[in-house]
Amino acid sequence: MRIISILTALVVMAVLYGVVIERDRLLGFAGVSTPAESADPAEAPGSTPAGTAQTTEQAAAAAPAEEGTVAVIARHSTAQEIDDAVLLRGQSQAFREVDVLSETTGRVISEPLPKGSAVDAGQLLCELDPGTSGASLLEAEAALAEAQAQRPQVEARVPEAEATLAQAEAQLEEAQITLTAAEKLSESGYSSRTTLASARAGQRAAEAGVRSAEAGLKSADSGIDSLEAQIESARAAVARARTEVENLSITAPFAGVLEDDTAELGALMTVGTRCATVLQLDPIRLVGYVPEADVARVSPGARAGARLVGEQQVTGEVTFIARRADETTRTFRVDITLPNPDLAIRAGQTAEIAIEADGAMAHLLPQSALTLDDDGRLGIRAVAADGTAQFLPVSVLRDTRGGIWVSGLPERVDVITVGQEYVTDGVPVRPSFEEVVQ
């Protein structure tokens, strides 16, 4: 049985080979001619001019192409004006975000606020046990009052010292007069040496009195300066104590929402311990990075649209363009601010951003039509007026589902869409044009 199956298979294979591969030879052996061989346009009865034209067209198509000519497929393309836009990807970020930290040490005595709660600017987030901070403030205020109370007494010492100095100067003047008179009498022989020595001693005593009065005046002045320093020190102590008391109440720096719960009741807070994280989401910011080739097309105040995950579409305007490129990606940061009153946009969402720019004339081409020249420039190959291939550089404006929009081409151009990789500038081409509805 197995031998019969094998023989049957061999017979079937032989028949198929004869029918498919050797068909013409079998028909010739059987004396049957093919329609192509039997139909002779010149001798067929009832032939018409249309049949003659069809035969001529087929002959022209079958005629060999000129030597060196490359057959390609091309399309007629006409430039269209489009609303140009700079496309980039980014993500949403909170307009403001801050970790509210403790500036003093104390135990939390307030109930925690749950995450997601809306807070106003200045609203209490964490309150700490005052401990001895209140007593320290009262003590500092009392020291300040005491220092200020000494001001009249200290200031009164200055006029007293000035009066003492004036009296000492008067005594010095009197002693100088007495000494002059004693010296003249002594020269005339009317005064004794004892009187002259006594006058001189009185002058020296008066001079010492003047110096003592001057020192007293300086001491009074320095007493005022010392009192002023003491008052300023007391004021600083009051300010420190008052700040310490104010730091016991940790408040929200701006209106926003809590990203997490505030510190738990009874938790010990030290300097630098986080009380809460506050986010401001209205307005919100979209952050993207634009290539250096397109950064000149983006300007502050330009309108921008974005599509978030879930097909949510929003609009805003450009508020910031970085002046320095990222060291790694060589791109520039762009911030777009937009309103978010209902807080529907969350921080960290992915966004496809389009920033408006000036309109431009562009051609819609398939991506497969793009190629590179020997210098690595991006462009297309077109059919020149003399029937040769020509490379034309382009700039990509937008990538869509229907093709890619490019600029830098003439208003009308015949773009080679198939075969552009097999020709170079100056090579003769024989284009077959495809009809495209743009």
3-state secondary structure 92-132: EEEEEEEEEECCCCEEECCCCCCCCCEECCCCEEEEECCCC
Question: Which CATH fold would you assign to the domain 134-246?
Answer: Helix Hairpins (1.10.287)
Distance (Å, rounded) from C-alpha 234 to C-alpha 167? 37
How high is the pLDDT of residue 41?
36
pLDDT-derived band at 28 (thresholds 50, 70, 90) equals low
Confidence of residue 57 (pLDDT cuts 50, 70, 90): very low
Q: How confident is the model at residue 31 (pLDDT cuts 50, 70, 90)?
A: low
Q: Answer with the residue of higher pLDDT: 167 or 23.
A: 167
pTM here is: 0.54
CA distance 161 to 6: 143
Residue in 374, 395, 382, 372 with CA at minimum distance from that of residue 427: 382
CA dist., res. 330 & res. 328, Å (int): 6
Cβ neighbors of 292 (< 8 A, separation 6 or more) are 325, 330, 331, 332
Residue 80 to residue 84: CA distance in whole angstroms: 11
Residues 422-436: tens digit of each pLDDT: 999 999 999 999 876
Sequence-separated (6 or more) residues with CB below 8 Å from residue 116: 257, 258
Beta strands of 244-400 (E only): which ranges? 249-251, 256-258, 268-269, 274-291, 303-308, 313-321, 331-338, 350-356, 360-365, 371-372, 378-383, 389-393, 395-400
Token pair belonging to 248? 């016991």
C-alpha separations of 436 from 79, 82, 389, 413 in Å: 13, 18, 21, 13
Helices (H), 150-192: 151-188
Confidence at 276, pLDDT banded by 50, 70, 90: very high
Class of domain 85-125+250-357: mainly beta
Percent of the chain with pLDDT over 70: 86
Report domain extents, the chain.
1-32, 71-82+360-434, 85-125+250-357, 134-246
Cβ-Cβ contacts under 8 Å for 411 (sequence gap 6 or more): 78, 79, 361
Cα–Cα distance for residue pair 279/99, rounded to 1 Å: 9
How far is it, in rounded angstroms, from Cα 336 to Cα 353? 9
> Which run of H or of E encompasses 203?
helix 193-246
* CATH number of the structural domain 71-82+360-434: 2.40.420.20
CB distance 96 to 276 below 8 Å: no
**Distances in whole angstroms, Cα of residue 274 to Cα of each of 57, 113, 225, 250, 307:** 87, 14, 44, 10, 35
291: its two tokens: 């290539």
Distance CA 381, CA 429 (A): 11
pLDDT tens by residue, 144-178: 888 888 888 877 877 888 888 888 888 888 888 87
Q: Mean pLDDT, the chain, as a whole number?
A: 83
- Which pair of tokens denotes residue 290? 């634009």
Whether 418 contacts 365, CB under 8 Å: no
**pLDDT at residue 160, rounded to an integer:** 82
Q: Which residues have C-beta within 8 Å of that of residue 157, sequence separation ≥ 6? A: 219, 220, 223
- Residue 38 confidence (pLDDT) above 60: no
pLDDT at 53 over 60: no
Q: What is the pLDDT of residues 328-343, one digit of tens each?
A: 999 999 999 999 999 9
In angstroms, how far is CA 249 from the centroid of its own chain?
33
Distance set, CA 342 to CA 281, 284, 346, 404, 426 (Å): 9, 11, 10, 37, 62
